[in-house]
Amino acid sequence: MRIRKLKITIGILVASLAATTLLQGCVAPVLVAGAAAGVAGVAIIGEQRPVEVALDDKNIESRAAQAINDDPALAKDVKVGVTSYYYVVLLTGQVPNEAARQRVLQHVSSIGKITNIHDHLEIAPPALFSQRSRDARTTARVKRALTAEDGMTSATYIKVVTEKDTAYLMGRVHREEAEQASAIVQNVEGVSMIVLVFEYLD
């Protein structure tokens, strides 16, 4: 299975985009994490996955969380969110060092049916409760903004994950819908950056 490690590339782009945003003083930057046809804040808009797919995704998340929690080497200073959508897995959160990151990836990659892993783990202390609460509120605002927007088609089904003020958008969408969604989320209060983890239907 192909594991996509994006840490170095993301670090460079984040620094560049953040600087641009500070200069412009406007919307949150957007990073495209990938394309192909216990988290602080998560919401699903227009859930339309087949029942078996939704159950498989839930099973992937549960098995990954259990494996991470049961690993004594990961019992301290680790807060990892595992989000699965149509067998594409997003890893967010904090780990204390690179060895811990590799152990998390090893656990997750051993789970069957996963087609891709997007690694957005940060080597840092676990986010504080206040940050996790803020992320949950930001997720709710993103969900409201997307569902309230006129012109968002019924074909757009998006999972939202917020981690330390970064909004991750997942789902199977058309490119036009992805552009529309990111334009909406850029203006949501509390979002400092957007990462697109979409699978494109065209």
Overall pTM > 0.85: no
Name the most confidently modeled range: 8-17, 118-127, 143-152.
118-127
* Cα gap 195→74, rounded to integer Å: 26
Three-state SS at 198 = strand
> How large is the average pLDDT for residues 109-123?
96
pLDDT digits (tens, 9 = 90+) for 135-150: 999 999 999 999 887 6
Tell me how far apart the alpha carbons of residues 163 and 167 are, in angstroms, rounded to a whole number: 7
In a 3-state reduction of DSSP, which class is residue 163?
strand
* Res. 49: pLDDT tops 50: yes
Q: Is residue 40 scored above 80 in pLDDT? A: no
- Measured distance CA(1)–CA(93) in Å, rounded: 22
| Cα separation, 111 vs 166, whole angstroms | 26
Residue-averaged pLDDT of the chain: 81
Decide the pairing of beta strands 166-173 and 41-45.
unpaired
Q: How far apart are CA 89 and CA 117, in angstroms?
A: 5
How much helix, strand and coil, in percent to the nearest 5, is found in the chain? 40, 30, 30
Tell whether the torsion through CA atoms of 8, 20, 175 and 190 is positive or negative: positive
pLDDT at 192: 97
Q: Decide if pLDDT at 6 tops 50.
A: no
| pLDDT for residue 149 | 74
Work out the pLDDT band at 132, boundaries 50, 70, 90.
very high
Q: What is the DSSP string of 52-106?
A: HHHHHHHHHHHHHHHHHHH-GGGSSS-EEEEEEETTEEEEEEEESSHHHHHHHHH
For the four alpha carbons of 147, 153, 154 and 158, in that order, the dihedral sign comes to negative
